[in-house]
Every structure is written in C-alpha cells, then in structure tokens.
Amino acid sequence: MSARGAALGSVPQEFEHLPGGALVHVKDCVHRAKRRQHIVPVSAKLRRLPLALRQQDASELRQLQDDDTVVDDRG
C-alpha cells in the first residue's frame, strides 16, 4: 500500500493498534538513524530514478507534501 492510501484513511494492518486506528501528524520530531558504533558510514552514489517512474514519483511526493505528511526542509 502506498503512503497516499494511508493518508486517505485506509490504515495498514501493522498500525491498527494505534489510538483510533489512524496515523496522526507528529510535530517537532526529528528522526535519527541508529547505527552500530564500530561500523564506519560510507557515501554511495545515488541511483537515478527510471524515466518511467519520475512523473509518478513527483506527483506522489507533491501529494504527501500537500497532506503535510512530509516536509521539505531544504531551505
């Protein structure tokens, strides 16, 4: 299921235990990735998105931004 489907009211089964069975907007929360201390992070070159998926991906991202599910913090 896409995140767009979740935003429109159909909640994935693994989240049904949440209050009201719905996902809620969380403000002022910054996700920090956990990593094992002995592993050194490396930079890898990003793979390009296939042309066939770019328009679909852009419209999905725009919808998530309009729903305030994701926020563009690039400045």
Give the model confidence (pLDDT) of 12-32 as tens digits.
777 777 766 555 667 777 778
Distance CA 36, CA 39 (A): 6
Q: In the chain, what is the straight-line distance between the N-terminal and C-terminal CA atoms, in Å? A: 30
pLDDT tier at 71 (50, 70, 90 boundaries)?
A: confident
- Return the SS3 of 3: helix
CB 35 within 8 A of CB 41: yes
Model confidence at 5, pLDDT cuts 50, 70, 90, reads very low
In this prediction, residue 1 has a pLDDT band, given cuts at 50, 70 and 90, of very low
Tokens of 56: 């679909």
How many Cα atoms sit within 13 Å of 36 on the Cβ side? 2
More confident residue, 2 or 56: 56
39 has a pLDDT exceeding 50: yes
At 21, is the secondary structure helix, strand, or coil? helix
pLDDT at 74 over 80: no
